[in-house]
Amino acid sequence: MRRLFLSHRLDILRGHLVEVLGEEQVDLLTPRYILVPNSYLKQWLSIELAKNSSSGGIANYKMMTLQEGLKIFFPHSGFIEVFCALYQELKTFDGLEVSEYVKDSPAKLVELSNELTSLFIRYGLDDPSLFQEKGRLNWQQKLIQNLFVEGPLRSPFQTPSKSLPPIHCFGFDFLPESVWKAMQFQSVYLFSPCRFFWEDLCSDRDRKRLLHFFEKKGATFNQREELDSYLRETGKKNA
């Protein structure tokens, strides 16, 4: 991670993104990847960037959600690939729990494959240690071993680190640790809705209240002056 921006206002995060994109020295044929939390923010940010010529236009942008990004950069871990491999594995799987549940029912086999696909993708995000070589503890662990350790599938976070293109991470309030390590973000614009994060939202009334609070706590005159100067300067930058 090279640069980090924090705010609970998306318009301010967008401004930082526009500034960083404007500083990049890339040609129009080089794609620029921006990861966003959902399709709604993807649409909003696309429109906002299109309005601002300083970001270099949007022709070479590839805006993507997390699942879309995983599919682009880790093609062997997508939903369809995992689902198809699971479906084939479950057809001949010797686990008693699975055979009892399926009982030659194609509908139940599809249903179970679909459910396990979502679970295994989530496991890969939240606990990559499940995809390491280890003793087979239960039928789910046995499936993971068969498909992701001994078989052809790979969770994105089993894949050895490779050189990824610069990726800008925009508007998330949370991502699993494994995603931070795998994506190697160029810059991060972190949405912080916490009410105690007042760096870019401090009115004159808020500023006076804060100064009065710290005066009651015993802050010296010089300390209060320094805080007041900081709050005023921050307000100017974000005006």
Q: pLDDT at position 64, please?
A: 92
End-to-end CA, the chain: 27
pTM above 0.75, yes or no: no
For residue 237, is pLDDT > 50?
no
Q: pLDDT at position 209, please?
A: 80
Query: What's the token pair of residue 229?
Result: 């100067």
Instruction: Please write the tens of the pLDDT for every residue from 20-71.
Output: 888 877 766 778 899 999 988 998 998 888 877 555 556 678 899 988 888 7
The CA distance from 63 to 41, in Å, is 10
79-91 and 106-126 are packed helices; what angle lies between their axes, rounded to 10 degrees?
A: 130
Q: pLDDT at position 57, please?
A: 56
Instruction: Please write the tens of the pLDDT for every residue from 124-159.
Output: 777 777 887 766 578 888 888 888 888 888 777 776
Place of tokens 């198809």: 84
- What is the CATH T-level fold of the domain 3-73+159-191, as seen in this structure? Rossmann fold (3.40.50)
Instruction: Please write the tens of the pLDDT for every residue from 7-29.
Output: 878 888 999 998 888 887 776 67
Instruction: Please write the tens of the pLDDT for every residue from 167-201.
Output: 999 998 888 877 887 888 889 998 776 555 445 55
